[in-house]
Amino acid sequence: MRLKTRLIHAGNQSDAQTGAVTTPIYQVTTFKQASADMEQAYDYSRAGNPTRTAVEQYIADIEYGKYGFAFSSGLAALSAILMTFRAGDHFIVSNDVYGGTYRLIKQVFHQLDLSFTFVDARNIENIEKALQPNTKAIIFETPGNPLFTVIDIAKVVEVARKHELKVIVDNTFLTPYWQNPLELGADIVFHSATKYLGGHSDVLAGLVVVSDDTLAEQIALVQKAVGAVLGPQDSYLLLRGMKTLGIRMEEHEKNTLAIANWLEKHPRVQKVYYPGLVSHPDHELAKKQARGFGGVLSFEVNEGTDVDAILARFNIFQLAVSLGAVESLVSVPSRMTHATIPPEEQAKLGITPRLIRLSIGIEDVNDLIEDLAQALQ
């Protein structure tokens, strides 16, 4: 079955009881038991809900995994993954990660006696140098955020296998439509499904996919015990959004590539960060391990440019955090999505106050370019 067809029919979405062709919203917390001793599929919605089950089966199917898990946010999903490890464990993390991931690691899990070393994971030697006797996993997102560095998943997996480490990949930016880390050897894939998978800025959700039975048991235990699960209403919205993922991702990418090429020629733009550009240093790697380049880019304006004046002139692009929805958004990573990263660390990474990130929507690309042109005047 081809991917666009899988996106419509993945998982088990029809309702066996009524014949409904889409999964109903099971807005219920508890389920009648046949007896006090008999185990059944559902007893309490923290442990499982039919609408959430449909989401979990769906994401496992389109990520080519065996088990899916739905959480109340992307960071709740990552938290559940980290909770399967033990105090004293060490992790190697790519330094180009979402600011919320950085905050979760540094301000929450670091206090729980997990340790983390941030490296430029594009260079495999950096990963090997960061290895410690207690290292248990490598965590990264590719492409990175907000500079869109691309990490070679297969090469990281090769190092991880040599040292018996888990590989954990955030696939939010490319989604299963463009990239499948499990197929490249990763152990765990997670998503902020709030972004492209939902696609309409109306649902907060996180997803995890694995194929290993033991990992699945561990994550299932955390999911049930902690209870940061996706509710039935949000599960329904997410299912509905994911069915159009293919046509949306193609439109996002088409618009983004056109805008990236336009920005490269603009006199007020110093640099454009988008792996779909031939000028991007990781362009060939991105082509090798993914089928597309996504719908988000960043660009740096020239020194002396008033960034706030640019932001104030936008008419179509809306100043907001998040990304991946049908409408176009603009943000300043240094002050918004990555504000929790100390300024000195931002400077090392190349996140300057002049860096602007665009999440390109599915509007008419000519309207978007005209809006950029007048904002950059």
Dihedral pair phi/psi, residue 311, rounded to 5°: -60, -40
Marked catalytic residue, from 26, 58, 67, 98: 98
Question: Taking every pair of C-alpha atoms in the chain, what is the biggest distance, in angstroms?
Answer: 73
What token pair was written down for 73?
């946010």
Omega before residue 146 within 30° of 0, cis: yes
Strand, helix or coil for residue 219: helix
Strand order in the sheet with 188-192: 67-71, 206-210, 188-192, 166-170, 135-141, 90-94, 115-119
The radius of gyration of the chain from alpha carbons, rounded to an integer in Å, stands at: 21
**Strand (E) or helix (H) holding 264:** helix 245-264
Dist. CA 353–CA 333, nearest whole Å: 8
Is there a catalytic annotation at residue 42? no
Active-site position among 195, 243, 248, 357: 195
Alpha-carbon distance of 126 to 119, in angstroms, equals 6
Q: What are phi and psi of 291, to 5 degrees?
A: -95, -5
Q: Is 236 a catalytic residue?
A: no
Residue with tokens 């007896």: 35
Are 170 and 97 in contact by the 8 Å Cβ rule? The answer is: yes
| Closest to 23 (Cα-Cα) out of 318, 233, 258, 261 | 233
For residue 200, is it left (φ>0), alpha (ψ between -120 and 50) or beta? alpha
Set 170, 187, 234, 282: catalytic member? 170
Distance CA 105, CA 72 (A): 18
**Cα–Cα distance, 218 to 83 (Å, whole number):** 9
Q: Are strands 318-319 and 296-301 parallel, antiparallel or unpaired?
A: unpaired
- Candidate list 4, 15, 43, 46, residue with the active-site label: 46
Is-catalytic flag, 195? yes
Q: Give the Å distances, CA to CA, from 204 to 28, 179, 196, 277.
A: 19, 22, 11, 31
On whether the CB atoms of residues 211 and 67 are closer than 8 A, the answer is yes
Residue 98 bears catalytic tag: yes
Catalytically annotated residues = 46, 98, 170, 195
